[in-house]
Amino acid sequence: MALYKEQGIVLRTMRLGEADRIVTLLTQGSGKVRAVAKGVRKTKSRFGGRLEPFTHVDLLLYRGRELDIVTQVEIITSHRAIREDYARFAAGEVVLEAADRVAQERERSVRLFMLALGALRALAGGDGDPAVIADGFLLRLASLAGFRPSLSACAACGRPGPHARFSISQGGLVCEKCRTGGAVRVGEGTVPYLAGLLQEGPLPGAPREGRREGSGLVRAYVEYHFDRPLRAWAHVPR
Ligand SMILES: [Zn+2]
């Protein structure tokens, strides 16, 4: 077995026997990694509370055939503030759940890692609305996975916008000619809200009206294109 160094975010942990845990990590260089942390549940464990979800850690691992083995962990940032506030915690759960879904085991994706780390930093930092941070993460994640929604030109024919209807299955705004039965008419603030989420830099404070509809569209869009429900989304206060 080979030893290797990584940094990662703890996505989740699962009990294994009396004293051990299986830890799922989103790493910077090795994609998703599942590793056994031995003795982690003993009171005198050398890992202590270092392998809690949301924590950004430096790791030394042994590569195993299926599961790796954690041999050393140091905390880079605990992101403790996420655990101390319900809205931040719920939004953080959305980030971890969606990242877990998209990440492939042992498939490097630095952009995915940085996107997730950025969202957790924003949540722990305390500025910004947790629900908006979660929405921004989800829409940027969809874009990274190849599903960037079209927010001005028609997603089907490219005709320049603005268009009034949004189609989840067609990939964004659609013109009157291209729209199918699933296309919904969106309110005035909705497209600016979605566009703001995709902008570089800090997330916007969008008008209340656009947020409500935009947030629901983000969820439906991500669930459709990732082909799975997002359980944590419904717990985020909006
Ligand atoms: Zn069209």
How far, in Å, from the CA of 156 to the mean position of ligand 1? 5
CA–centroid distance, 162 to ligand 1, in Å, is: 11
For residue 173, the CA-to-ligand 1 centroid distance in Å is 9
Question: Is the domain of 59 the same as that of 21?
Answer: yes
pLDDT at 218: 96
Average pLDDT for residues 149-169, to the nearest whole number? 96
Read off the amino acid at residue 27. Answer: T
Please spell the DSSP secondary structure of 146-170, one letter per residue.
T-PPBSSS-TTT---S--SEEETTT
pLDDT in tens, 205-227: 556 678 899 999 999 999 999 99
Instruction: State the distance from the centre of ligand 1 to the C-alpha of 179, rounded, in angstroms.
Output: 7
- 144 alpha carbon to ligand 1 midpoint, in Å? 24
Rounded to the nearest whole angstrom, what is the distance from the C-alpha of residue 230 to the centroid of ligand 1? Answer: 29
Q: Give dist(CA 21, CA 14) in Å, integer.
A: 5
Has residue 7 got a pLDDT over 90? yes
Q: What is the pLDDT of residue 205?
A: 59
24, 51, 80 — which closes off a domain? 80
In the reported structure, the alpha carbon of residue 195 is separated from the centroid of ligand 1 by a whole-number distance in angstroms of 19
Contacts of 201 (CB under 8 A, 6+ apart): none
Residue 201 has pLDDT above 70, yes or no: no
Predicted TM-score of the model (pTM): 0.93
- Average of pLDDT values for 117-131? 92
Give the pLDDT score at 180.
92
Reported for 214-218, long-range contacts at CB under 8 A and 24+ positions apart, including other chains, are 214/135, 214/189, 214/190, 215/131, 215/135, 217/166, 217/168, 217/186, 217/190, 218/135, 218/138, 218/139, 218/194
How does pLDDT run across 52-81, given as a tens digit for each residue?
A: 999 999 999 999 988 999 999 999 999 999
Q: Does pLDDT of 200 surpass 60?
A: yes
Domain boundary among 54, 80, 106: 80
According to the model, what pLDDT value does residue 190 have?
93
Helix (H) or strand (E) holding 23: strand 20-27
If you average pLDDT over residues 161-173, what whole number do you get?
A: 95
What is the rounded distance in angstroms from the CA atom of residue 97 to the CA atom of residue 163?
32
Residue that finishes a domain, picked among 58, 80, 102: 80
Q: What is the DSSP string of 215-232?
A: HHHHHHHHHHHHTS--GG
Rounded Cα distance between 214 and 201, Å, is 19
Do residues 101 and 109 make contact, with C-beta atoms less than 8 angstroms apart? no
The per-residue pLDDT of the chain, averaged, comes to: 92
**Residue 68 has what pLDDT?**
96
Residues 50, 146: one domain?
no
Q: How far is ligand 1, taken at its centre, from the CA of residue 153, in Å?
A: 8
Task: Residue 187: give the domain boundaries.
Answer: 81-231
Average pLDDT rounded to a whole number, residues 159-171: 95
Alpha-carbon span 171 to 210, nearest angstrom: 19
**pLDDT for position 149:** 97
Q: What are phi and psi of 19, to 5 degrees?
A: -125, -10
- Structural domain includes residue 16: yes
